[in-house]
Structure 1
Amino acid sequence: MNSQLQLDDYQLVIRALSDRLVEAQTPIRVLDAVKWDDNVRKAFLKGKGKELPQVGRDYYAGRPLGFDSGAKKLEFQNIERDITRQLGQFNPVGQIMRRMCKEYRMVIRMLEARGTSDFGLISQELYGSASDAFHAGDPTLADLGLMFSDYLNKIDDRGDLKDEPKTLTAKDAVAILQGRLNTVFGEAQSTIRVFESDGILADAAAGADYIKIRSDAMFNERDVRALEVHEGLVHVGTTLNGLNQPICTFLAKGPPSSTITQEGLAILMEVIAFASYPSRLRKLTNRTRAIHMAEEGADFLQVFDFFREQGFDMEQSYANASRSFRGSTPDGLPFTKDLSYLKGFILIYNYIQLAVRKGKLEAIPLLFCGKATLEDMRTLRQLVDEGLVVPPKYLPPQFRDLNALSAWMCFSNFLNHLSLDRIEADYANIL
């Protein structure tokens, strides 16, 4: 944190309100609050995957949140009131912080509703639905998932793009990743830790100053490269840039709206760094399709069977299906956070493409200034000009030098005007 900067009275007010917001959200741990414990998994697998997991309202009642939800909602209400009192109704920083207060109150309401139909409905408000369109008349996320599946099936049919064997243990992945992040972040390396954990559902997860690797997961070199780009360059990088903010400290923490931006940016980085691969994309596509199935009325067993049909074993299929129903019930509406990856990718890609088209390249690196939300980007540019937000210190090479990215987006802008159907017909004789 930059403590050398002398702040004026206005900046001190913003800093104090921002710090209150950061402090208030500290005990809220969404993924910890919604996950199912190992007993649920063991019971389901013992039953050979024939019966719905025994998870209902009572199950979550036995898993307290770790904070007083009523008092916490009131705390955010008071912060929001003080933001208006001290900064006014139309202050740009105040508008961002007030929206964050509202989002965190909604998050708490969602967690209070675990095991009820309201949980899924609030999740859709926060993270979106698979049936949401990107723009009027455009395909939905569900359409995108089916389209990607069709493409990936054609690639799989070739048989020559199979994944390399996963011969790296979690311990191996930790050592490789730690070394690479030490190189990337330089003097910040002493604060970034990579370690094994047996308490996470995904293969890896990033926190404020760490990356956890699931103890029993196996990796190949391609997997580790994706983790370096996704968890390291984006999630850790934006956290460090947020922690580097001397005034708007709230940029070090992100509500659900920033999750969509964060995950979209991480997937885009995988693509432009050539760190993604078909089976990785299929994982994201399957998550989207699973959520869409649950939104359309499929229960846990039907989603579990879907993953079995995709070639996953019972353990993997359970883990994949449980991502969609955590926080909910096995026959309820899904937890839609996993839509953030593909949804965020499309939104971020469109944003960068438009920034290049309009010649506003300075807007692109600001995606990394912290846990930013796409709708706040214009405001963040204004705040950088005013000195209230500092530009990102840690940027991936592709965003530090925008030459290649700008050239790519220029071509992309033109290619968007071509008809793929017409191209397919014209190229029929040569492909």
Structure 2
Amino acid sequence: MFSLRAKLHACLICLALVTPAGAVELPDPLTLDDFIQFEPAQVKLGQLLFYDKILSGNRNIECATCHHQKFNGADGVSLGIGEGGAGLGEERTGGDGADRILERVPRNAPGLWNLGHKDVRFMFHDGRVEVSDDFGNGFRTPAWIFLPKGLNSLLAAQALFPMASEIEMAGQPGENPIGGAAYEGAHYVWPLVVERIRGIDAYVRMFVEAFDTVEDASDITIVEIANAIAAFEGTEYRNFDSPFDKYLEGDETALDDAQLRGMTLFYGKAGCSSCHSGPLMSDQSFRALALPPFGPGRTLLNDPIARDVGRMAVSDAPEDAYRFRVPFLRNVALTPPYGHNGAMPTLEAMVRHHFQPRESNAGWSGGMAILPPVAWLASGDFALRENKIENDRILSRIDIGLPHATDDEISDLVAFLNALTGETALKRPLGRPETVPSGLPVD
């Protein structure tokens, strides 16, 4: 007798012969060996740094503000409010007075799930931090040759850049020394952050305990700070005990009928696995989906239009215009809204968009965006959406083509995506600390 899983594999192989997208077999189960292992003392130290506003220029925002436990490693909104704001999620405000925000964060805050996997190659929606030997430090980043050596992971390289972003954490020139340094370049910011940490005795003791290379405050560098944050993120958001994971491990009863039908579609007729393949459920390529544009955009130098051209800004290749990184899918149901700009509020809306991107783009309205209200930005929030010429450019770059899907099939696909939620996903090992060594309030 063939097992249910064996029959499904046989079915998928048959589908591969007739599906243009090319069906693939189910991925191997994830194991702990697939992930970078971090020192527990560094994980604990990283937790405190992750929730400490001391890393921000004006001491008013932390890493966790946009990647909070409350929102499962994201922030629950389409485009976040960074430095200068107050509060969390949809309740976050744009601040007031001279310190109020100048614009929203131009892209959606991605979730952190399983980014400590050894095979992760890109960070950020445009992949501007990636594994590379080009500069002798292991990574290709906006800091080029100025990125320090000794970073323990791609996660550590990524952690360096939000604190050097004027909009996200640094603040504006004239507000504080870090904001001024950010205007010159990320590598001017990092020594200023280090000096703050060196001045807090409790942190110094923890760095001495966590790192063999640190004997006193003078030994602490931005490398140890980034490595500790990476240790926390890579451990705290490691999770692979979903019904789908259990199914991959041989439990044939782990998925219900709708989830099984959705899985068969995902890896077969629907063609989803042509991009969302492998153990991380992403081939880590960059695809143009024609999501409707809105928000401030991520403007290129000398570009007269406040838009977001995606991967092209990194690669300088015209064919990469409006392409964004294919996201990982485990625990995807826990981190709405979806897309590089959070245009789609629900999983169903995002799935439907994949099958009919032109129609979805045309039918999209600003009410679908989850944006904390900021009165002085309201007039510009959807100016990009109203730029028909730019939207037509976006529509001309669609590079996915999935077959027609019925309402029932979309429902089954959504059911399968919900089966990717880990049973322990809402029970993070460390969570949010009550206090941090700087004494600053914790979001």
Q: Shorter-chain-normalised TM-score: which range?
A: under 0.3
Point out which structure has higher relative CO (alpha carbons under 8 A, 6+ apart).
2
TM-score, with normalisation over the residues of structure 1?
A: 0.26
